[in-house]
């Protein structure tokens, strides 16, 4: 079976960086807006979102196990 070289980009790292730049540009080069949009997509997905800020510190959790 002959595979086509067109299946893979010439430089996958350059392609990933280009896509990243396009996504960032969609949000006006604003990291905060990009994060807010990502959180909106996550909440619309209907999956449970884990909030690590709500967890007890590791020292408190390990003391409870003892």
* 22-63 pLDDT per residue, tens: 999 999 999 999 999 998 998 899 888 777 887 777 776 666
17: pLDDT strictly greater than 50: yes
| Beta carbons of 15 and 9 less than 8 angstroms apart | yes
User: Cβ distance 65 to 58 under 8 Å?
Assistant: no
Residue 34: which of 20, 52, 51 has the closest Cα? 20
> What is the rounded distance in angstroms from the CA atom of residue 40 to the CA atom of residue 25?
18
Q: In this model, does residue 12 exceed pLDDT 80?
A: yes
Query: What's the pLDDT at 30?
Result: 95
């Amino acid at each position: 079976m002959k595979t086509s070289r067109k299946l893979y980009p010439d430089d996958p790292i350059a392609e990933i960086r280009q896509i990243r730049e396009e996504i960032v540009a969609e949000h006006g080069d604003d990291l905060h807006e990009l994060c807010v949009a990502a959180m909106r997509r996550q909440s619309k997905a209907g999956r449970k979102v884990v909030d690590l800020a709500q967890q007890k510190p590791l020292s408190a959790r390990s003391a409870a196990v003892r």
